[in-house]
C-alpha cells in the first residue's frame, strides 16, 4: 500500500518499482489531525517526512517568541530532512493545516538510504538534494522579493497595485 502511494508522487516517478518497494519497506504512514505539530523547532531530528495528502504549515519562532509562517507544503513535499543530513536541530516547526497523511522515514533508515553505495542510495540522495535545491531557490526568490519590498514607498505600492495592500 505504501509503495502504491509513493508511485503516485512526481518525486518518486523516476524510481524503478524495486526501489520504490525497498523505500516503502522502511517507511510507515501516519495521519495527523489539523493543528497537530509534526516537527518542533529546536528539537533533534528523528525522522523525515513525505506529504502524501493535506497541507502542512512551516512556522519559524523568531527571537522574542514571535512566530511567522514561512509557507505551506503541499502533496509530494519532503520535509524534516535538513536536520537528518547535518545532525543539527530542527530549523522550523511544521504543523498540520488540515488532516494530513505523511510517510515517515526514521532517522536511521534515512541515513542508511543516503549513505548506501547502491543505485537506490544514490537516487534517494538525489531526490532529497533536488527537494533541498527547490527549497533554496524558493527561499532566495522570497528574500529577493522582501529586499525589493523594503525599498518601496507607500506611493510605489499604491501606484503598482492600486492601493489594495494598504
Instruction: Give the three-class secondary structure for 164.
Output: coil
The model's confidence at residue 144, banded by pLDDT at 50, 70 and 90, is: confident
CA dist list (Å): 25 to 20, 59, 119 = 9, 31, 17
138: confidence class by pLDDT, cuts 50, 70, 90: confident
Sign of CA dihedral 134, 139, 140, 144: positive
Residue 28 confidence (pLDDT): 93
DSSP class of 62: P
Spell out the alpha helix ranges (H) of the chain: 2-7, 17-25, 81-86, 107-115, 119-150, 154-161
State the SS3 of 127-155.
Answer: HHHHHHHHHHHHHHHHHHHHHHHHCCCHH
Domains present along the chain, CATH in parentheses:
2-151 (2.60.120.10)
What DSSP designation does 66 have?
-
Higher-scoring residue by pLDDT: 111, 164: 111
Q: How far apart are CA 58 and CA 69, in angstroms?
A: 6
Quick check: 166 pLDDT over 50? no
pLDDT digit string (tens) for 4-51? 888 888 888 888 898 889 888 989 999 999 999 999 999 999 999 999
Model confidence pLDDT, tens digit, residues 85-135: 888 899 899 999 999 999 999 989 888 887 877 787 788 788 888 888 888
Q: Are 152 and 32 in contact (CB under 8 A)?
A: no
Average pLDDT over residues 54-67: 91
The reported pTM is: 0.78
CB 65 within 8 A of CB 125: no
Amino acid at each position: 500500500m505504501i509503495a502504491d502511494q509513493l508511485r503516485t508522487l512526481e518525486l518518486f516517478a523516476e524510481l524503478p518499482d524495486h526501489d520504490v518497494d525497498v523505500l516503502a519497506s522502511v517507511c510507515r504512514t501516519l495521519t495527523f489531525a489539523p493543528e497537530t505539530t509534526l516537527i518542533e523547532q529546536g528539537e533533534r531530528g528523528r525522522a523525515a517526512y513525505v506529504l502524501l495528502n493535506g497541507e502542512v504549515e512551516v512556522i519559524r519562532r523568531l527571537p522574542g517568541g514571535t512566530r511567522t509562517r514561512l509557507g505551506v507544503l503541499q502533496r509530494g513535499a519532503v520535509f524534516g530532512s535538513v536536520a537528518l543530513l547535518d545532525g543539527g536541530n530542527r530549523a522550523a516547526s511544521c504543523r498540520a493545516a488540515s488532516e494530513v497523511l505523511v510517510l515517515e522515514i526514521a532517522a536511521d533508515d534515512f541515513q542508511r538510504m543516503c549513505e548506501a553505495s547502491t543505485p537506490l542510495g544514490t537516487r534517494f540522495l538525489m531526490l532529497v538534494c533536488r527537494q533541498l535545491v527547490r527549497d533554496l531557490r524558493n527561499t532566495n526568490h522570497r528574500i529577493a522579493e522582501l529586499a525589493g519590498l523594503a525599498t518601496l514607498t507607500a506611493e510605489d505600492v499604491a501606484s503598482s497595485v492600486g492601493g489594495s495592500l494598504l
